[in-house]
Amino acid sequence: MRISAGLAVMVLGCGAVGHAVMTGLDTGIERVDPFKDMKNRPQAGHGLNFLLVGTDGREKISPEEKREYRLGGAPCHCTDTIMLVHLSADRERASVISLPRDSYAEVPAHRDLVSGKDHKAHPVKLNAAYAEGGPQLTVRTVENMTRVKIDHYLEVDFTSFMKTVDAMGGVEICTAKTMRDPNTGLDLLPGTHRLTGGQALQYVRSRHVDGASDLGRMQRQQRFVAALIKQATGGGVLLNPVKFKELSSTLLGSVRADKGFGSEQMLALGQAMRDFTPSSSEFASVPIGSPSFPVKGIGSTVKWDEPKAAKLFDAMRQDRPLAPVRPGKATARPAAVPVDVPPQQIRVQVENGTRIDGLGGRVDAALRATGFDTTGAPGNGASREVRRTVVTYDPRWDRSARSVSTALPGSELRAVPGQGRTVLVIAGADYRKVVPVRAEDPYQGGAVGVVTGDQVVCGR
């Protein structure tokens, strides 16, 4: 769940700041050897593959932070989040696949790190591989499950994550509905928020803001990674030597990495990714066959849909996009603001509340262009002196009304019991434009639920 800090190591590699800025940074990296004595590994493909894991590490958190961010309990010494990241050979695309921590897995024969006992191959939940055999067993298990050869390993804990986000000055997240989780303390109202490190940790840890549990949490983690990439590549971090030096020191001083990943690799990655945008990244979760597959002695596990998962990992091995390019994707489009209800599901009637000729027609056409189901027959309002645009709605369809109001910045929401499902827009003299909107959850589309970063970051 703290994986975005690991991605930041890659994305913020260095841009064009040069070798001088990187001098001495290697010494701050804590090293692990996840590939020691590994045999019968998958065949290497094109591009680079990273295994990014988020570990607990709450023993490093101060008592004050534990109370503020609801981090009580004993550390589990396991991986809360596991992501495979593929950087394409042409360095124009990053593909991220989230692996559920409760995935049914079979760890290969190994020696237990805690007890020192030798174990035969046996079934576990995927996050338990780290507890039994650390980074090496985690890498071996993931490679056996995916047949994707891992080139580099990065590990981030609670402290690393919070330091990284704070060093970036926070990360911008937007939500179309209230998000509250009493377990983590997350409490966000609809809108755009710049999260500090601690708040970001609450956001990526939360599992109880909807009924999607771990799947919803993985999607929020992916949104956060996309937002991090957007800020890193669009905020001048890569081109500012002073800012880069400060941030790199924070990153490298708070992660664990394999011996082959250092400043030279960061330099090459940063140069390759300096032109990245959110649309350069794509995200997917492993297709699920059974969300509650019972295993004796382990409990309920997440069973993958093997045929669909195989296609997903094959695309990664072959250095192909995880999903076909969407029609018209190459055409530049303004970023859309996420809303709770898809505009295609909302019926809208427009009225002109001013004496401006043709205003109703322009508003109707603009709302229709962003996806709303308008009547196409705008009329004149009872009053022609409306200064502020009004959105009237039946309280039973309040979520739809909020979606319409989001598309009309500055509009007033007004409940009218008994109005029915059609939302009425009375265009006022303050009308300037319709802001493009989209459904907040784009993960429904695509054969394997693949989305690109530009679909899940905040619109402008």
189 backbone dihedrals φ, ψ, rounded to 5°? -85, 160
pLDDT computed for residue 447 by the predictor: 41
Per-residue pLDDT at 326 exceeds 60: no
**Per-residue pLDDT reduced to its tens digit, 205-216:** 887 776 566 777
Cα 8 from Cα 45, distance rounded (Å): 24
Mean pLDDT of the chain: 80
Nearest to 102 by CA among 292, 313, 306, 309: 292
What's the 3-state SS for 316-362?
HHCCCCCCCCCCCCCCCCCCCEEECCCHHHCEEEEEECCCCCCHHHH
State how far the alpha carbon of 296 is from the alpha carbons of 124, 141, 215, in Å: 10, 20, 23
**Per-residue pLDDT reduced to its tens digit, 363-405:** 999 999 988 999 999 999 999 999 999 999 999 899 899 999 9
Cα 188 from Cα 176, distance rounded (Å): 10
3-class SS at 46? coil
Q: Are 16 and 238 in contact (CB under 8 A)?
A: yes
Supply the pTM of this predicted model: 0.69
Q: Are 10 and 85 in contact (CB under 8 A)?
A: yes
pLDDT computed for residue 266 by the predictor: 63
- For range 27-49, the mean pLDDT: 85
